[in-house]
Amino acid sequence: MNTDKVIFKIYKPAKTSMQSGLGNTRFWHLRIKPDSYYIEPLMGWIGSKNPQKQIVLKFNSLEQAVSYVKKRNIQYIIEMPKNIRRIPKSYTNNFI
């Protein structure tokens, strides 16, 4: 794989808006940073000629992901997760 011009992104995915759980947010993901795409003229679908965009590597920690890209001499950027502000709620507040 030619990784001279390709930049990889290391990030921790956000929780889905469809569920309240944080199940899929434990791992750090390594993915090719999206660069170019084309719009298919008939249906308007967005496509890419790079099949490597579909590949996602998962790591248990940020340090493991960084050491992986450094060993392979790959350019990368890190997106740190945003802090989650939790507001304590009570069921009785619905009736006040």
pTM of the predicted protein model:
0.72
Dihedrals phi, psi of 54, to nearest 5 degrees? -80, -15
Per-domain boundaries in the chain: 53-82
pLDDT digits (tens, 9 = 90+) for 51-84: 888 899 999 999 999 999 999 999 999 999 888 7
Which residues, other chains included, contact 8 with Cβ-Cβ below 8 Å and sequence gap of 6+? 30, 31, 32, 33, 69, 74, 75, 76, 77
Dihedrals phi, psi of 5, to nearest 5 degrees? -100, -10
Distances (CA, A) of 39 to 11, 45, 55, 96: 26, 6, 21, 51
Q: What percent of the chain has pLDDT over 90?
A: 41
